[in-house]
Amino acid sequence: MLGDGEFDKRIVEGDVEVWVTMMGPYLNMNTAFIDRSNDLVAIIDPFDAFAWCGELERQGLRPTHILYTHTHRDHTAGYSQMVSLIPDLEVWGHEDARVPQLLEFPVFGKVDFNRTWSQPPLLSVEWSVGNIHLTVTHTPGHAPGHVTLHGHEVFHAGDLLFTNGMGRVDLPGSDPSSQVRSIGRGKEILKRLPNDWRMIPGHRYEWIDGSTPDWVSVGDALEHNYALKSV
C-alpha cells in the first residue's frame, strides 16, 4: 500500500512509464503517463502540484498535460499551483464538466480547461500525445462531464468506480440514472480489457476483505465490485 505521496513506477508496453500515487486526506489516487523520448508527462487529477513537480524534476521531467476525470474539489486540488508552476500546461477535461452554475457548491473546484473532449455520454474517443495513447470515455452520473481514461495497462476510473463500489450520486450535479448507464458502459469496457490490467479508483477505499489496496485487477473488479455486479 502506498504511503501519502509515494509513487509506484513501472514501464509498460509501448515504452511508456506509468506512475501511480495516493495523495491527501481523501486518499485520492493519481495516475501519470510518461513518454521520456518526447518529454511528455500527462497526469490525471494531480492532487499536490509541488509533490508531483518535485518528483518529476528529480528525473529531469515536468508535467505537460493534466487530464481531469471531473471537477470535484478534491480532484482539482492541485490545479492552481500546477498552472502557476507550469503556465503552458495543456489542461483537459470534458466540455460538460465546465459547470459555472455549480461552483457555488463547495464540492466543486474551478478549473479553466484549455482543451476539451465533447463526446456524448457513454461514447469513447482516442487521445494521443507522443507515445501516450489513451481512450477517454464520457461517464457522467457522479458528476457532470465525468470521464474515465484507459490505456498502458491501466483503467483509471476516477469516481465512476472504487475497488468495491462507485462514486456518490447524491451531490449537486449528480444524476443516478446516468450513473447506472455509465457503470454499464464501464463494465463493457472492462470486460474487453486484459484481466491483469490495473483498475485504479479515484479514491483508495475498502476492498471486499477489509484491506485498502491502491488498485485491484480488472478481473477482480469484474468479479467482486458490487456496482459492476449490479448492472
Applying CB under 5 A, the residues found at the interface with Fe ion are 72, 159
Question: Smallest distance from the beta carbon of 159 to Fe ion, in angstroms?
Answer: 4
Query: What b/e readout covers 72-105, taking b as 16+ CB neighbours within 10 angstroms?
Result: bebbbbbbeebbebbeebebbbbebbbbeebeee
Q: How far is CA 73 from the centre of its chain?
A: 14
* All residues at 6 or more sequence positions from 55 whose CB lies less than 8 Å from its CB, including other chains: 7, 19
| Neighbour tally for 115: CB within 10 Å | 11
Q: Are 161 and 150 in contact (CB under 8 A)?
A: no
DSSP lists the bridge partners of residue 150 as 135, 155
Question: Smallest distance from the beta carbon of 59 to Fe ion, in angstroms?
Answer: 30
DSSP lists the bridge partners of residue 155 as 150, 199
Kindly tell me which of 64 and 144 has the beta carbon lying closer to Fe ion. 144
Cα–Cα distance for residue pair 97/95, rounded to 1 Å: 5
142: left (phi > 0), else alpha (psi -120 to 50), else beta?
A: alpha
Question: Smallest distance from the beta carbon of 72 to Fe ion, in angstroms?
Answer: 3
Kindly tell me which of 86 and 171 has the beta carbon lying closer to Fe ion. 171
Question: Smallest distance from the beta carbon of 57 to Fe ion, in angstroms?
Answer: 29
Question: Smallest distance from the beta carbon of 143 to Fe ion, in angstroms?
Answer: 6
